[in-house]
């Protein structure tokens, strides 16, 4: 694509207005929200200026043009993750998408269609002890509504789970296995192929939280063989307020929609309603049209650089971050060790200093990180700490960012008197 960078790192950094506005900023919070390149901002703004209208409603030229842009974005996003066009439904974010699956299964369990998704007492839902709350609480609620049991694979002292632990948590009554592709705390990369095989052995559905993988590595959901997946635009250099639910087409056509209303129906009487096929059956109400256009531009931007190149670059940055953290006395990382595969983030503990104080100290020096439990309280409880500090890289991250973090980290414990 014309005007797009060919390499990640400092070259890509020039595409992001944020860094022009904050030239000395060290932004290591991409795991929470990625910055947006001009190409994405301009694409969304251009649509709003010249093509903005409701979609799938009416027969006007304006509606037709807006609908074309909306559906073209869906097609490109689907291609980006190895999905068919009918296998991507827009959601508010990945959290919303995961809730759509769980709520649809709850409706199926209440007899509202989609019998294959119905759960009953004695059935099981299996997760890991490392899940983001978005891939835990919806399943807790589904278990409570249906009488199913929630089980999980435990994590060790580094916050890591194993496929053997996941297998031990499953049984012939397991109906759902839901895991994060990449942990947002430890950076552990799940053995998805093994998870899918395990799910098939027991006849369960595989649900993949792809929030921390879709922006950072090549992702082919069709080849992976998962049944459902969720990811968010704002972690992929795109807008907030929109995400995607992936589901195999035959499953989406049967899953009861979590939200109902206009735009997703065929026939409505005063007694009942019939729903459109996927993906429209999951897109009730007024759609996030400009956000979808921005989402499409974001995957275009990432694709132009190349996900293989992005993955290589971010893997190098992640190993550099890990090495930098562990060179600082009194600082220890959680998750995979040096040389082991990990996602593009490193969470760490500074002995004697609360993570929030670490984050404030770094922020005062122009370094943006994330602090807290990262929406993963059970995992932090297993780690024996209420919170960690997380440095997460993106396509624009550089070795200079790593050096700046290490230099500032060396000052933290002396500043707070924790080195005495």
Q: What is the CATH number of the domain that holds 373?
A: 3.90.1150.10
Alpha-carbon span 65 to 165, nearest angstrom? 51
Residue 194 has pLDDT above 70, yes or no: yes
Same domain for 296 and 310, yes or no, is no
Question: What distance in Å separates the CA atoms of residue 279 and residue 418, rounded to the nearest whole number?
Answer: 54
CA distance 367 to 364: 7
Our answer to whether residue 211 is catalytic in this structure is no
62 plus 171 within the same structural domain:
yes
Q: What integer pLDDT is reported at residue 395 of this predicted model? A: 97
Q: Is residue 39 part of a domain?
A: no
Q: CATH number of the domain that 288 lies in? A: 3.40.640.10
pLDDT tens digits for 248-263?
999 999 999 999 998 8
Average pLDDT of span 38-63: 88
Query: How crowded is residue 231: how many other Cβ atoms within 10 Å of its Cβ?
Result: 29
Give 361-408 pLDDT, tens digit per residue: 999 999 999 999 999 999 999 999 999 999 999 999 999 999 999 999
- Single out the residue in 284, 303, 322 at which a domain terminates: 303
The DSSP bridge pattern shows strands 388-392 and 367-368 to be unpaired
Asked if 22 and 162 sit in the same domain, the reply is no
User: What span, in angstroms and rounded, lies between the C-alpha atoms of 97 and 232?
Assistant: 9
Print the domain residue range for 355: 10-30+306-416
Q: DSSP label at 195?
A: H
Indicate if the pLDDT at residue 318 is higher than 50. yes
pTM of the model: 0.96
- pLDDT, residue 1, reads 46
Cα dihedral 399, 403, 405, 408 in deg (nearest 10): -170
The kind and range of the H/E element at 327 are helix 307-327
Share of the chain above pLDDT 70, in %: 98
Look at the alpha carbons of 58, 59, 61, 66 in this order and tell me if their dihedral is positive or negative. positive
Measured between its terminal Cα atoms, the distance across the chain in Å is 55
151, 268: one domain: yes
Q: Is 1 domain-assigned?
A: no
Report the domain count for the chain: 2
Among 245, 280, 303, the domain boundary falls at: 303
Could you tell me the two tokens for 248?
A: 């195999």
Q: Assess if residue 380 is contained within a domain.
A: yes
- Per-residue confidence (pLDDT) for residue 3, from 0 to 100: 53
Residue 5 domain-assigned? Answer: no
| Model confidence pLDDT, tens digit, residues 115-162 | 999 999 999 999 999 999 999 999 999 999 999 999 999 999 999 999
Task: Quickly tell me which residue has 């799938």 as its tokens.
Answer: 56
Note the pLDDT tens digit of each residue in 160-169.
Answer: 999 999 999 9
Prior bond of 279 cis (ω within 30°) = yes
Three-state DSSP class for residue 178:
strand
Active-site residue (options: 375, 385, 399, 416): 375
């Amino acid at each position: 694509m014309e005007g797009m960078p060919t390499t990640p790192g400092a070259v890509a950094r020039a595409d992001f207005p944020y860094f022009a506005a904050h030239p000395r900023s060290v932004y290591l919070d991409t795991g929470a929200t990625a910055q947006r390149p001009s190409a994405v901002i301009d694409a969304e703004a251009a649509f709003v200026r010249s093509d903005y209208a409701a979609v799938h409603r009416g027969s006007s030229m304006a509606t037709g043009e807006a609908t074309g842009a909306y559906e073209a974005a869906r097609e490109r996003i689907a291609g980006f993750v190895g999905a068919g066009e009918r296998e991507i439904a827009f959601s508010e974010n990945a959290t919303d998408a995961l809730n759509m699956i769980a709520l649809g299964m709850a409706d199926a369990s209440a007899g509202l269609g989609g019998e294959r998704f119905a759960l009953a007492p004695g059935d099981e839902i299996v997760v890991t002890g490392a899940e983001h709350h978005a891939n835990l609480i919806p399943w807790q609620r589904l278990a409570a509504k249906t009488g199913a049991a929630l089980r999980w694979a435990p994590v060790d002292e580094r916050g890591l789970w194993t496929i053997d632990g996941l297998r031990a948590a499953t049984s012939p009554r397991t109906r759902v296995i839901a895991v994060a592709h990449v942990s947002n705390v430890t950076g552990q990369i799940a053995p998805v192929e093994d998870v899918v095989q395990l799910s098939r052995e027991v006849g369960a559905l595989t649900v993949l939280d792809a929030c921390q993988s879709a922006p950072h590595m090549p992702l082919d959901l069709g080849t992976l063989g998962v049944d459902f997946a969720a990811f968010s635009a704002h972690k992929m250099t795109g807008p907030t307020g929109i995400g995607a639910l992936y589901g195999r087409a035959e499953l989406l056509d049967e899953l009861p929609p979590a939200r109902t209303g206009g735009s997703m129906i065929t026939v409505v009487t005063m007694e009942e309603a019939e729903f459109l096929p996927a993906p429209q059956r999951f897109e009730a109400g007024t759609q996030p049209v400009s956000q979808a256009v921005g989402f499409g531009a974001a995957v275009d931007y990432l694709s132009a650089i190349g996900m293989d190149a992005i993955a290589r670059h971010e893997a190098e940055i992640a190993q550099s971050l890990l090495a930098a953290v562990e060179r600082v006395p009194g600082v220890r990382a959680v998750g995979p060790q040096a040389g082991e595969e990990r996602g593009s983030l490193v969470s760490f503990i500074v002995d004697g200093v609360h993570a929030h104080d670490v984050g404030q100290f770094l922020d005062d020096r122009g370094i943006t990180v994330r602090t807290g439990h990262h929406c993963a309280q059970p995992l932090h409880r297993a780690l024996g700490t209420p919170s960690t500090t997380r440095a997460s890289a993106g396509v624009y991250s550089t070795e200079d960012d790593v050096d700046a973090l290490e230099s500032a980290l060396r000052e933290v414990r002396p500043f707070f008197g924790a080195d005495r």
